[in-house]
Amino acid sequence: MNHEPVQLSDGQIHQFQAEGFLILEKFLDLELIDRVVDRLDPLFATQFETGVYPDEWHGRPGLNQPTATRQMCGMWRCDRTVASLALSAEIARLNATLMGWSGGRLATDSCWIKPPGAPEVLFHRNNTAFTCIDPSSVITCWIALSDTTGSPGTLEIVPHSHQWQCSDQFRFLHAPKEDYRQPLWQAAKEAGVDQPALLAVEIPAGGCIFLHGNLWHGSGRNTTADQTRQSFAITTLPADARFQPPGVGSGYIFSRYRRIGETAMDESFFPILWTQAGDRTPMVMAYCDDALVSI
């Protein structure tokens, strides 16, 4: 059964541009969700189908507390089932369309698993991690792999905060010792916002939320005894993105894929997934199926 392409309305695009987010409560088939979830435990147990390690990895069995938040990014290089979703042309099309881009290339994918008792995730903006890239502008499609409610430490967002004039810095996000919302309070003060309105995202498994790269977001502690929150996110750059000149910006993961003496982004690491002209990096089609074409 083929995934039915989502036709975004002018109203939905306007809402995203005005508020910095858009929720689709029904997006992916639960059969596909189950296929992706089935690959997570093997990946966190160092069973990498391709033999390639992820870019980032927190919450390893036997090495971390059982309540630690498990997080992994760059998973598409490790597993073709995960890649079939992360490299989907449909998700890149939706991401690019909401941002007003003519095309999109993969920035990264990431998985977040918050078991009972898992601590907070510090408030942050995704664009802050991409300042070594020009433009340092991303959009994320955050997909609920389990029913997402408040108690298990759901995603918290601040509508309209993508429009704030404020500074930010890259931070370690896991289990902050300070108030996990402290960076948000600082940014709101700098932007002249007295009482930022927090919204707890509640969507069923298979639903998703699109997040502007400048939207402030984080998550609280999982206070349940038996519910694990699972999500998978696909972050997209504009298709014409390039690296900043050497020494400009930061990006401890992404800058490692820079070619010496060049600003062009290598499509082996940042493949173009969709353009209005129909372009798609050939390597992607040879590497894996597209989960939203043949599910």
Residue 18: both structure tokens together: 């005005």
How far apart are alpha carbons 193 and 208 in whole angstroms?
28
Cβ pair 191, 164 in contact under 8 A: yes
The beta strands (E) that lie in 182-241 are given as 199-200, 208-212, 217-219, 229-238
Residue 209: pLDDT over 80: yes
With CA atoms as reference, report the closest residue to 31 among 65, 2, 55: 2
- In the chain, where the domains are located: 17-287
**Which tens digits make up the pLDDT trace of 77-132?**
999 999 999 999 999 999 999 999 999 999 999 999 999 999 999 999 999 999 99
Return the residue matching tokens 């108030």.
179
Burial readout 157-184 (b: 16 or more C-beta within 10 A, e: otherwise): bbbbbbebebebeeeebbbbeeebbebb
Per DSSP, the three-state class of 121 is: strand
What pLDDT, on the 0 to 100 scale, is given for residue 1? 46
What pLDDT, on the 0 to 100 scale, is given for residue 295? 43
At 2, the pLDDT band (50, 70, 90 cuts) reads low
How far apart are alpha carbons 146 and 144 in whole angstroms?
5
Sign of CA dihedral 108, 219, 203, 194: negative
The Cα angle at residue 210 between residues 152 and 206, in degrees rounded to 5: 55
Third-level CATH fold of 17-287: Jelly Rolls (2.60.120)
Residue 291: pLDDT over 90: yes
pTM to 2 decimals?
A: 0.96
